[in-house]
Structure 1
Amino acid sequence: MAFEGLTERLQNALSGLRRKGKVTDADLRETMREIRLALLEADVNFTVVKDFVRNVREKAAGAKVLEGLNPAQQIVSIVNDELTAMMGESEVPLNVSDKIPTVIMMVGLQGAGKTTTAGKLALKLKSEQNARPLMIAADVYRPAAIDQLKTLGEQIDVPVFEMGTDADPRDIVRQGLAKAAELKSDYVFIDAAGRLQIDETLMQELADVKEIAQPDEILLVVDAMTGQNAVETAEGFNERLDVTGVVLTKLDGDTRGGAALSIRAVTGKPIKFVGQGEKTTDLDIFYPDRMASRILGMGDLLTLIEKAQKDFDEKQAAETMEKMKSNTFDFNDFIDQMDQVQNMGPIEDLLKMIPGMANNPALANVKVDPKDMAHLKAIVMSMTPAERENPDLLNPSRRRRLAAGAGRPIVEVNRMIKQFNEMKKMMSGMMNGNMGGMEQMMNAMGGGNMPGMPGGFPGMGGGIKGKMANMAMKQMARKIQKNKKKRR
């Protein structure tokens, strides 16, 4: 994520407070100095940083906080609240017209991901709301822009209206809107022209398109990796077009990410969506409170749960739970579960959404190589159907055959089978409300030997056994046990 450097700096700044039973004015001043430096290094706008630090200091200073119970915890809470307020308090939905179609105009500089974002948002509305979108290719200047939008349209099965590169963008928009009325499209996306930089010709054309289309939403697409330039771009477009929202792209890139913390405060315009990947499904609603929690290393369970709900088949999940409970979980189920987890995104990113793990320094170096997952699949796919359904059949000679078939060392095959069997045992215990199984799971994860993963999760030391994570896991086990009693 773009905020890893900022998260580390803020964690370091706040960790000193957490170790103190009493927090003095001098401690608070030193912490605020470190927070100010952390935000500036993350490329947050200077004026925004100054206001942020002043607000936190004013709320944290005084006897009520410094001399109260858990002063460090209260200060962390204040920092979290101010970060959330800086980014906009709560999510802001799309502006939807009372009459169809809702017209969404996509604007931004070249290279920000404007065309790709139009396709992602069209797919999101189509899949989640059963919408009938139409995309209008009005960028006649960038080479291959029209072809890119047409290719996207084919991938997501959304129609694209285009008139080639010789037509005037204003005429394209007029006729595109007429086509939308003919198709009874309920959403229209105008992929407007971009430039390498803001200029008068571009802005006049966009103003003309705005006058013709009367859009309900003008979404400015900004590359988060451009730092302060992203804020300047947002100001420039907003002054001429009065944009209604911002989409931040490349938030998964190697960037300091300060633009996300600055744009709302500087322009007053809400960040509505964030793009964190190249797939057409990699577009998420922007939740300021969740982002603040992630920046402070507190995790983001709500997003993790939503990802699971979106990517997991409910019927299949129920069947898998029953198999875990009855200890009949086999290698076919194992592969299915692995595929579904991988669809949710990189495993190391999912781990950081879990409270108590997000600020674990050891996780900074944890990377689950997709090749390792492919090696696991190769071993399983080398099994016969009978072996996948009954792992007890895997005697030494069969394991040697698996190693040869998958092209992997025999020791890797043995380790994978051993960890799979341990996982079955632990999960069966958890499903049946056995707290001993829970403790085994916590110990295995804490020791870097998470069953079923290639070599475990190396380096995940004792952080996973932190109070928050341990408590959450035990509460989950208690709920399972409670539900089991209710069913009886």
Structure 2
Amino acid sequence: MFESLSQRLATTVNRLRGRGRLTDENIREALREVRIALLEADVALPVVQALIQRIKVRAVGQEVARSLSPGQALVKVVSDELTMVMGKANTELNLAQQPPAVVLMAGLQGAGKTTTVAKLARLLTERKKKKVMVVSCDVYRPAAIEQLRTLAEQVGVKFFPSEAGQDPVRIARDAVAAARREVVDVLLVDTAGRLHVDEAMMAEIKALHAAITPIETLFVVDSMTGQDAANTAKAFDEALPLTGVVLTKTDGDARGGAALSVRYVIGKPIKFLGAGEKTDALEPFHPDRLAQRILGMGDVLSLVEEVERKVDQDKAQKLAQKVMKGKRFDLNDMKDQLEQMGNMGGLAGLLDKLPGVSSLPDSVKSKVNDGEMKKMIAIINSMTGKERRHPDLLNGSRRARVARGSGTQPADVNRVLKQYMQMEKMMSKLGKGGSKGLLRQMRGAMKGMGGMGGLPPMR
């Protein structure tokens, strides 16, 4: 999400960074580019007009004109105003209530409500250590009830059973009573959706809300619907006292306008971003971090948090001890590293959070893809245990067999082994010279960074 917007804004602000001073013409030209970029990203027109006006007022004011680096100052103004439009700071769920804290999920059909319920249940269980129960009030789609049952088992939370044809209000009341009996901290209520806003749907969800008085009412919206997301949000906000928004499918080729529009149009905070189908693909929404990503500054804080949360600390510790003792880094270790990278969203997900990546040419970014990483894992999986421990055994005939077993070419196997040898050499340096040896090795590797999909040298 935001790729085209990010590229266009990054080009605009980069032209201003090095300017010794800004003229009215510079600023007018920059704001025109920003305006076009926002409209192309499907940001609602009232939002674009308000944002441009706020940037303009600050840009021609004292804080930019008298700055030692006016180009940089204008970049900061744009970043600050994008952050303000999206809501200043992250707004957490309010669960300060006598258990169970009831969270009602509302939205159109296909927005991803059921999947989001499972993702939120997992997040609350793993990160907040809450005891969670889920229930489906979508009595019109038996498949939705079954889907939530399956997802609840996957994420390890309680599931309150319901059936097609039951009264949704009765289901919700019974679920609240059951959650109270079983001393559940949070009850997540999935509701029925429609293909479009209609009176019957709104009447039903109003009745549900009145019956269970949830502490949080979250509007789940598909970010790929662009301006329509803001219009739908407005309709739901008029019918229900919404407390927040969850943007789904943010990993698609969406232009990103929903994130910038919804908060401004309904005045309710975006609380979470959903990306992908996996149950761990839900993250708290941080407006300041997203504004930095839009401007090509990366999101290092989120990257660090993700590494701390998703890297297997035991495996990392064992590998460090193994290397420091002078034992050889083998292909099993390399496979572990690749799989952990995949757990963090793959190469594409990591790159998206690194500063400056948005300005790289598409020809470079296209070479960095998770397909190659999966291919490498498949190649290592096709080796015997002995070959993984002792890569020197892999002669020509063995490499040909591994290629056949993994559905790849011998040249692909050779590339994996070449990358393995580079990693093994780096780990060997660490074992011999400690952290200083590793740093020297990394500096040397960075000078000619050609192996990772053709990324340019780091400066």
With structure 1 as the length reference, what TM-score do the two structures score?
0.87
Higher relative contact order (CA 8 A, sep 6+): 2
**Residue number among 432, 438, 441 corresponding to 1:437 in the alignment:** 441
Distance 1:168 1:207 in 2: 14
Conserved in 1, the CA contact under 8 Å of 2:94 and 2:215?
yes
Match of 1:332?
Answer: 332
Whether contact under 8 Å (2:83, 2:288) holds in the other structure is yes
The answer to whether the aligner puts 1:168 opposite 2:167 as a matched pair is: yes
Structure 2 residue aligned with 1:13:
12
Closer/same/farther in 2, CA of residues 240 and 65 from structure 1, 3 Å limit = same
1:480 aligns to what?
A: none
How far 1:241 sits from its partner (Å)?
0.8
- Compute the displacement of 1:276 (Å): 0.4
CA distance in 2, matches of 1:170, 1:8: 48
Q: What residue is the counterpart of 2:54 in the other structure?
A: 55
TM-score normalized with structure 2 length = 0.92
| 1:316-335 Cα distance to aligned partner (Å, 9 max, x none) | 11222344454722111111
Q: Do the aligned residues in 1 keep the contact of 2:44 with 2:257 (CA within 8 Å)?
A: yes
Superposed, 1:101-140 pairs within 5 Å as 101-140=100-139
| Superposition deviation, residue 137 in structure 1 | 1.6
Equivalent in the alignment of 1:366? 367
C-alpha distance 432-390 of structure 1, shift in aligned 2 (>3 A)? farther
TM-aligned CA deviation for residue 410 of structure 1? 3.4
- Alpha-carbon deviations, 1:176-215, whole Å to 9, x = none? 2122122222111111222222222222222221111011
- Per-residue deviation at 1:359? 2.9
Q: Cα offset for 1:143?
A: 5.3
What does residue 478 of structure 1 align with? none
Deviation at 1:120, TM superposition (A): 1.2
Distance 1:404 1:164 in 2: 49
Aligned-partner Cα distance in 2 for 1:131–1:57: 46
Q: 1:315: which partner in 2?
A: 314
Output the amino acid matched with 2:319.
Answer: T
Letter in 1 for 2:456: G
| Structure 1 residues 378 and 137: CA distance shift in structure 2, 3 A | closer
Hey, what's the Cα distance between the residues in 1 that align with 2:395 and 2:332? 19
One-letter amino acid of the counterpart of residue 24, structure 1: T
* Structure 2: tracts of 5 or more residues without a match: none
Structure 1 residues 45-101: Cα deviation after superposition (integer angstroms, max 9, x where no partner):
111111111111111214652353221111111111111111111111111133110
- Following superposition, the deviation at residue 423 of structure 1 comes to 2.3
Q: Identify if the C-alpha distance between structure 1 residues 432 and 155 changes in structure 2 by more than 3 Å, giving closer, same or farther.
A: closer
Name the counterpart of 1:461.
456
Q: CA deviation at 1:22?
A: 3.0
Maintained 8 Å contact 2:135/2:159:
yes
Alpha-carbon distance, 1:174 to partner:
1.6
Does residue 280 of structure 1 match 2:258? no
**Residues 301-348 of structure 1: CA deviation (Å, up to 9, x unaligned):** 111112211221112112223444547221111111111111111312
Q: Number of paired residues?
A: 453
Cα distance in 1 between the residues matched to 2:148 and 2:396: 54
**Alpha-carbon distance in structure 1 between the residues aligned to 2:143 and 2:229:** 24
Output the CA distance in 1 between the equivalents of 2:203 and 2:405.
64
Is the aligned partner of 1:292 residue 2:270?
Answer: no
2:227 is matched with: 228
Evaluate the alpha carbon distance shift between residue 403 and residue 250 of structure 1 in structure 2; reply closer, same or farther with a 3 A threshold.
Answer: closer
- Matching of residues 86-485 of structure 1 within 5 Å: 86-142=85-141, 144-325=143-324, 326=326, 328-362=328-362, 363-370=364-371, 372-396=372-396, 398-400=398-400, 402-403=402-403, 406=406, 408-429=408-429, 432-434=435-437, 435-445=439-449, 447=450, 449-450=451-452, 457-458=453-454, 460-462=455-457, 465-466=458-459
Check whether the contact 2:140–2:165 (CA below 8 A) recurs between aligned residues.
no
Q: Kindly state the Cα deviation for residue 401 of structure 1 after the two structures are TM-superposed.
A: 5.2
Q: CA 1:288 to 1:365, structure 2 compared with 1: closer, same or farther past 3 Å?
A: same
After TM superposition, give the deviation of residue 365 of structure 1 in Å. Answer: 2.4
Structure 1 residues 278-308: Cα deviation after superposition (integer angstroms, max 9, x where no partner) = 0111111111111111111111111111221
**DSSP 3-state at the match of 1:432:** helix
Give the AA of the match of 2:440: G
Provide the C-alpha distance between the structure 2 equivalents of 1:207 and 1:292, rounded to a whole number of angstroms: 35
Q: CA deviation at 1:113?
A: 0.9
Inter-partner Cα distance in structure 2 for 1:30 and 1:239: 39
Rate the CA distance shift 1:429–1:351 in 2: closer, same or farther, 3 A: farther
What SS does the corresponding residue of 1:144 show, helix, strand or coil? Answer: helix
Q: CA separation of 1:157/1:27 partners in 2, compared to 1, >3 Å: closer, same or farther?
A: same
Whichever residue aligns with residue 381 of structure 1, its letter is N
106-115 or 144-153, larger mean C-alpha shift: 144-153
Instruction: Write the distance in 2 (CA, Å) between the matches of 1:316 and 1:197.
Output: 48
Cα distance 1:62–1:246, how it changes in 2: closer, same or farther (>3 A)? closer
Give deviations 1:426-446, integer Å, cap 9, x for gaps.
35546531453122221242x
- List alignment gaps of at least 5 residues for structure 1: 451-456, 467-488
In 1, are the aligned partners of 2:145 and 2:162 still within 8 Å (CA)? no
Amino acid at match of 1:114: K
Q: Residues 199 and 415 from structure 1, CA distance in 2 versus in 1: closer, same or farther, beyond 3 angstroms?
A: closer
**Amino acid of the residue matched to residue 190 of structure 2?**
D
How many Å separate the matches in 1 of 2:88 and 2:248? 20
Matched residues in 1 for 2:61 and 2:373: separation? Answer: 53
Q: Which amino acid aligns with 1:409?
A: Q
Deviations for 1:117-160, whole angstroms, at most 9, x for unmatched residues?
11111122122233222222212224522222222223223232
Partner of 1:473: none
| d(CA) in 2 for partners of 1:5, 1:296 | 11
Instruction: Mark the CA change 1:198 to 1:398 in structure 2 (over 3 Å): closer, same or farther.
Output: closer
Distance 2:216 2:97 in 1: 13
Q: Say whether the 8 Å CA contact 2:141–2:164 is kept in structure 1.
A: no
